[in-house]
Amino acid sequence: MPTELLFRSDPYQQSAEAVVTGHTAEGGILLDRTVFYPTGGGQPGDSGWLDWPGGRLMIATAVKVEGGFVALVPAEPLPLPPVGAQVQQRLDWTRRHRHMRMHTALHLLSVVVPLPVTGGQIGAERGRLDFDMPDPPSDLAPLNAALTAMIDRDLPVSDEWITDEALLANPGLVKTMSVRPPMGQGRVRLVRIGTEASQIDLQPCGGTHVARTGEVGGVEITKIENKGRQNRRIIVTLRD
């Protein structure tokens, strides 16, 4: 069976028991269920710890493995827990939560700058979105004011699932030009900011987010970089 993704139903779950179901050829650890988000969609894989009777490993990251599995990647080449072992997994919650704040902030940025997105990356300190933007603004103050206003509205952040067919029938939901939402499973996850009756954003996303925009906290657009004839990179920094 594929790995059960506990972060999908509760991104705030910081620890969980699990059973080791296998090891990858590269030394990754496969579990039957995990709270670790695997690298994808511009969001880094989670780090943390794995404990079992007689052993402990620091986990550097998590990655997707073919077949719907998630592999935890040890930070050091130490003995792995054996297949069948019961383990306790625990996130580096401070790092994960900062990823969640930044991910939601970047969704808000895509509302503030309503242009096609050509790329993006999430970090614990800084994040960025690249836009198809021929003429970048010279003054960051209005953009920062608009972003802060959305955060301060403390809007709810929720998700729902639609079919692949429904997404194909609504191509405007997809903001990214370079990366298409993963399809082929029969359904796609959407992340909504605001209520269904008065939403400000709705787009496909597999990442983890905070529950309300107010939880994003202090952020600032610090720079716009020229990355090509029409490609502009907007850098966002967490301030606390």
Has residue 48 got a pLDDT over 80? yes
**Token pair listed for 134:** 């021929």
What is the mean predicted confidence (pLDDT) over 35-60?
96
Average model confidence (pLDDT) across the chain: 93
Phi/psi of residue 141, each to 5°? -60, -45
Topology of 96-238 in CATH? Threonyl-tRNA Synthetase; Chain A, domain 2 (3.30.980)
Question: Among 16, 72, 76, 8, which Cα is nearest to 45's?
Answer: 72
pLDDT for res 30 = 98
For the chain, domain boundaries: 4-91, 96-238
In tens, the pLDDT along 203-217 reads 999 999 999 999 999
Instruction: State the pLDDT confidence band at 37, using cuts at 50, 70 and 90.
Output: very high
What is the mean predicted confidence (pLDDT) over 195-210?
92
Least confident span in 7-11, 38-42, 74-78, 187-191: 187-191
CB 89 within 8 A of CB 15: yes
The distance from CA 224 to its chain's CA centroid, rounded to whole angstroms, is 22
Angle at 158 between CA 190 and CA 59, to 5 degrees: 85
Phi/psi of residue 24, each to 5°? -85, 165
What is the mean predicted confidence (pLDDT) over 1-17?
96
pLDDT for res 134 = 87
In tens, the pLDDT along 82-102 reads 999 999 999 999 999 999 999
96-238 matches 4-91 in CATH topology: no
**Token pair listed for 123:** 């970090």
pLDDT for res 157 = 97
Q: End-to-end alpha-carbon separation of the chain, Å?
A: 40
CA distances to 27, 40, 122, 129, 218 from 62, rounded to whole Å, are 12, 10, 15, 23, 28
Question: Could you tell me the pTM of the whole model?
Answer: 0.93
Has residue 224 got a pLDDT over 60? yes
Has residue 187 got a pLDDT over 90? no
Show the 3-state SS of the chain: CCCEEHHHHCCCCCEEEEEEEEECCCCCEEECEECCCCCECCECCCCEEEEECCEEEEEEEEEEECCCEEEEEECCCCCCCCCCCEEEEEECHHHHHHHHHHHHHHHHHHHHCCCCEEEEECCCCEEEEEEECCCCCCCCHHHHHHHHHHHHCCCEEEEEEEEHHHHHCCHHHCCECCCCCCCCCCEEEEEEECCHHHCCEEEECCCCCCCEHHHHCCEEEEEEEECCCCEEEEEEEECC
- Structurally, at CATH architecture level, domain 4-91 sits in Beta Barrel (2.40)
Phi/psi of residue 124, each to 5°? -75, -20
In tens, the pLDDT along 132-180 reads 998 888 899 999 999 999 999 999 999 998 887 877 777 777 777 556 6
Has residue 20 got a pLDDT over 60? yes
pLDDT for res 184 = 58
Has residue 129 got a pLDDT over 60? yes
Cβ neighbours, 10 Å, residue 187: 14
CB 101 within 8 A of CB 109: no
